[in-house]
């Protein structure tokens, strides 16, 4: 198949390049519309009780949580002071006339409701409702408008605009700006590193062709997804990071092999055919391994993680497409001109026997000592895992100085409860059971963390109870509170919702789905690596080594983002004592996929040398010499791409950049450079063993 593709790409090279360019430019033009169709939410579990409550309140009772929560601070006077009352009422009347507002409720219009008043009596809430769902573009537009027009000092009052609309807009705006900054840093650095690695200007442009085409194509596919489902703004970071990273990985492998064949005296056509038969096959199976790994993200019920699954699968597929269908005809047109613009001659013709081969032989002379030392290093890095704890992203992801973060912190500090994020309890067909409901309400009021419970409201046959908690809703403490409420004996048909319940159901949904996702990743990767290598031992070793590398990465993330170290390096952020659950899963899946990518790069070349008749030791040494340079360069460049995300002011994006960058460096050095050759030496010829009946399921190299 790959040999036929090589012939086709060479013979139709001009037409293939033209079609490739037209297709990518068209996809990029349409895909650019994706930026206006993304949201900052996606944390809800649509199969949960909390989502049923949200749907019931929104569709049946036409009730919703406020889009904007404005804190009105009188500073020195009490909010019941007549002068303050007059100013606040005038302010609320003006807000109610804004085009996007459907209704308002405040301390003053609700008859002095105590849950709307700050503990010191000098500030109170105005809750502003709109038409958009939480974190939707309409909600964010409303949040942007209110933050601009109703934040700061006005008529002797100090206003602080917060709420889901304001926070969602602040996060989206911050990520968009940070993405531009990270790209401005990573793309020039990437090109400089590529020029150094390839040693020639023309060759160094090839990875950017594959990477940019993958990104533009993925934007087009994501835009199509937005037409029938929600896609998170966070997916853009993964798209750009993975697009550039995989474009570099695959182009490095393809171009390196093409140049190698040319330098061995083959003509351009034969070099293209051999490149696709060897490196092209590796790219295909590597991409397939990464794709099935990232596909596991679509198993989770949260739209946030599904968005990353859509983005990951799209960008991987298009990176493989670009490497197999876009890059070969360009190489065919360039031919020997691929080495034009020489920068570093030694990179153009790699040594047959160099430092990587010497390193491999050195490691294989002392395999036990190397394994022990590497395990100690990984163990030390993993040690902080004992402190790991999880939550979900909220306003604390933003810099402390961000107005949305300031408003949220003020609410938590000065108000007794989260009035803008109530606990919503709906009792379907609860009418006529008032005594039982009263007992239930009293029990809810006694749960730790609940500060107030409003009297039950009747809507036809249904009952609604609203309660207020003291803590931020997307925290482990709020999760425990919701579990405690649900443990109370209640009337049949009782559903507990609200933001805290939504968070709880999301965390529980992740926990329930995680075993299935892990099972899918492990089984699919084991099968694919077996098909590619024909070995039972190598897939098992690959999975175990990746688990060890991942444990070290998670330990380092805990040490930095929970324990608070290295802020001088990664930049300041708000310490919450937790890691974002979804980001941890994302990092784990992405890192696992990329690790398998590098694993196949290395094993492919080792197996090729072994099948050519070399001993296990020499096959490992030669394979490492011819692929480790590529893996190390790819890892370094990918680390630069993701490390640029550390500049982000959004903590979850910062942690993703740090985690992926560290993981690929660990993988390319300790794992691929030391542990793989050491273990290959220890297992010897047993590395390639498989039962005879299974060998017919492997591919021929």
Q: Is beta strand 152-154 parallel, antiparallel or unpaired with respect to 157-162?
A: antiparallel
Are 204 and 345 part of one and the same domain? yes
Are 8 and 103 part of one and the same domain? no
Range of the domain at 110: 64-168
Residue finishing a domain among 504, 519, 549: 504
Nearest Cα to Cα of residue 404 among 140, 90, 41, 617: 140
Residue finishing a domain among 312, 328, 350: 350
Residues 6+ apart with CB under 8 A from 313: 291, 294, 295, 298
The SS3 of residue 580 is strand
Residue 88: the pLDDT is: 92
Are 246 and 305 part of one and the same domain? yes
Is residue 528 in some structural domain?
no
- Sign of the Cα pseudo-torsion (329, 332, 334, 336, in order): positive
Residue 692: the pLDDT is: 78
Return the CATH number at 413: 3.30.70
Cα separation, 581 vs 529, whole angstroms: 29
Helices 235-263 and 581-611 sit at what angle, rounded to 10 degrees? 10
Residues forming a β-bridge with 458: 463
Is residue 693 in some structural domain?
no
CA atoms within 13 A on the CB side of 502: 26
Is residue 696 in some structural domain?
no
Q: Are 594 and 638 in contact (CB under 8 A)?
A: yes
Are 146 and 11 part of one and the same domain? no
Are 204 and 154 part of one and the same domain? no
Are 20 and 72 part of one and the same domain? no
Return the CATH number at 322: 1.20.1640.10
Is residue 216 in some structural domain?
yes
Are 71 and 16 part of one and the same domain? no
Are 321 and 222 part of one and the same domain? yes
Structural domains of the chain, count: 3
Residue 630 CA, distance from chain mean position: 26
Nearest Cα to Cα of residue 74 among 65, 87, 64: 87
Q: Which residue is it, tokens 């803008």?
A: 420
Residue 134: the pLDDT is: 65
Are 69 and 24 part of one and the same domain? no
Is residue 256 in some structural domain?
yes
Residue finishing a domain among 310, 334, 350: 350
Cα separation, 235 vs 240, whole angstroms: 9
Is residue 517 in some structural domain?
no
Cα separation, 234 vs 654, whole angstroms: 12
Are 227 and 320 part of one and the same domain? yes
Is residue 697 in some structural domain?
no
Are 339 and 216 part of one and the same domain? yes
* Residue 340 per-residue DSSP state: -
Is residue 92 in some structural domain?
yes
Are 226 and 164 part of one and the same domain? no
Return the CATH number at 93: 3.30.70.1320
Task: Report the chain (701 residues): mean pLDDT per 10 consecutive residues.
Answer: 78 87 86 74 80 85 83 89 92 91 90 85 91 73 90 90 87 81 80 78 84 90 86 79 82 85 85 88 88 90 86 91 91 85 64 70 88 94 91 81 87 79 88 88 92 88 90 88 93 89 90 91 89 86 90 94 90 87 87 83 82 81 78 81 86 90 88 87 84 71 50
């Amino acid at each position: 198949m790959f040999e036929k593709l090589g012939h086709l790409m060479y013979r139709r090279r001009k037409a293939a390049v033209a079609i490739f360019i037209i297709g990518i430019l068209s996809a990029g033009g349409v895909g650019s519309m994706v930026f206006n169709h993304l949201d900052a939410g996606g944390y809800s579990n649509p199969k949960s009780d909390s989502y049923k409550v949200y749907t019931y309140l929104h569709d049946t009772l036409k009730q919703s949580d406020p889009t904007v929560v404005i804190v009105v601070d009188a500073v020195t006077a009490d909010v019941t002071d007549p002068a303050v009352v007059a100013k606040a009422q005038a302010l609320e009347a003006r807000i109610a006339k804004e085009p996007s507002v459907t209704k308002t409720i405040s301390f003053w219009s609700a008859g002095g409701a105590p849950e709307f008043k700050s503990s010191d009596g000098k500030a109170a809430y105005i809750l502003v409702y709109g038409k958009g769902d939480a974190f939707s573009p309409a909600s964010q537009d409303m949040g942007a408008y209110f933050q601009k027009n109703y934040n700061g000092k006005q008529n002797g009052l100090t206003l602080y605009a917060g709420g889901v609309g304001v926070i969602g807009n602040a996060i989206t705006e911050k990520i968009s700006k940070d993405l531009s900054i990270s790209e401005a840093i990573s793309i020039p650095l990437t090109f400089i590193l590529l020029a150094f690695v390839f040693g020639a200007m023309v060759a160094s442009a090839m990875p950017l062709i594959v990477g940019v085409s993958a990104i533009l194509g993925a934007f087009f596919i994501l835009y199509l997804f937005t037409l029938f489902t929600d896609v998170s703004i966070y997916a853009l970071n993964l798209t750009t990071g993975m697009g550039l990273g995989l474009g570099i990985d695959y182009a490095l492998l393809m171009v390196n092999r093409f140049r190698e064949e040319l330098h061995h005296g083959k003509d351009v056509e034969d070099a293209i055919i051999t490149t696709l038969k060897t490196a092209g096959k590796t790219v295909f199976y590597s991409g397939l391994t990464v794709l099935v790994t990232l596909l596991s993200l679509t198993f989770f019920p949260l739209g946030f993680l599904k968005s990353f699954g859509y983005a990951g699968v799209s960008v991987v597929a298009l990176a493989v497409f670009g490497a197999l269908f876009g890059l070969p005809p360009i190489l065919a047109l360039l031919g020997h001109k691929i080495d034009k613009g020489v920068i570093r001659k030694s990179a153009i013709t790699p040594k047959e026997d160099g430092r990587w081969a010497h390193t491999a032989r050195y490691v294989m002379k002392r395999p036990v000592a190397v394994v022990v030392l590497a395990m100690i290093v990984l163990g030390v890095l993993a040690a902080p895992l004992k402190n790991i704890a999880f939550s979900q992203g909220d306003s604390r992801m933003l810099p402390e100085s961000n107005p949305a973060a300031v408003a949220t912190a003020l609410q938590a500090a000065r108000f007794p409860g989260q009035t803008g994020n109530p606990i919503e309890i709906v009792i379907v067909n609860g009418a006529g059971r008032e005594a039982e409901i009263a007992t239930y309400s009293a029990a809810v009021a006694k749960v730790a963390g609940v500060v107030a419970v409003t009297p039950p409201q009747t809507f036809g046959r249904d009952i609604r109870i609203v309660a207020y908690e003291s803590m931020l809703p997307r925290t482990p403490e709020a999760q425990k509170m919701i579990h405690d409420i649900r443990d109370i004996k209640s009337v049949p048909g009782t559903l507990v919702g609200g933001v805290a319940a939504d968070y709880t159901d999301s965390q529980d949904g992740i926990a329930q789905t995680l075993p299935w996702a892990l099972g899918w990743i492990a089984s699919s990767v084991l099968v694919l690596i077996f098909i590619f290598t024909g070995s039972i031992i190598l897939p098992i070793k690959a999975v175990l080594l990746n688990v060890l590398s991942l444990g070290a990465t998670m330990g380092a993330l805990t040490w930095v983002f929970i324990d608070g170290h290295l802020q001088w390096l990664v930049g300041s952020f708000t310490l919450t004592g937790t890691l974002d659950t979804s980001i941890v899963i994302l990092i784990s899946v992405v890192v696992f996929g990329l690790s398998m990518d590098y694993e196949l790069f290395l094993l492919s070349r080792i197996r090729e040398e072994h099948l050519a008749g070399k001993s296990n030791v020499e096959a490992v040494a030669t394979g490492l010499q011819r692929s480790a340079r590529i893996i190390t360069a790819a890892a370094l460049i990918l680390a630069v791409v993701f490390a640029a995300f550390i500049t982000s002011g959004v903590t979850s994006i910062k942690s993703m950049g740090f985690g992926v960058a560290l993981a690929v460096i660990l993988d390319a050095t300790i794992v691929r450079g030391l542990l793989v050759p050491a273990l290959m030496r220890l297992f010897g010829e047993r590395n390639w063993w498989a039962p005879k009946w299974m060998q017919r399921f492997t591919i021929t190299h």
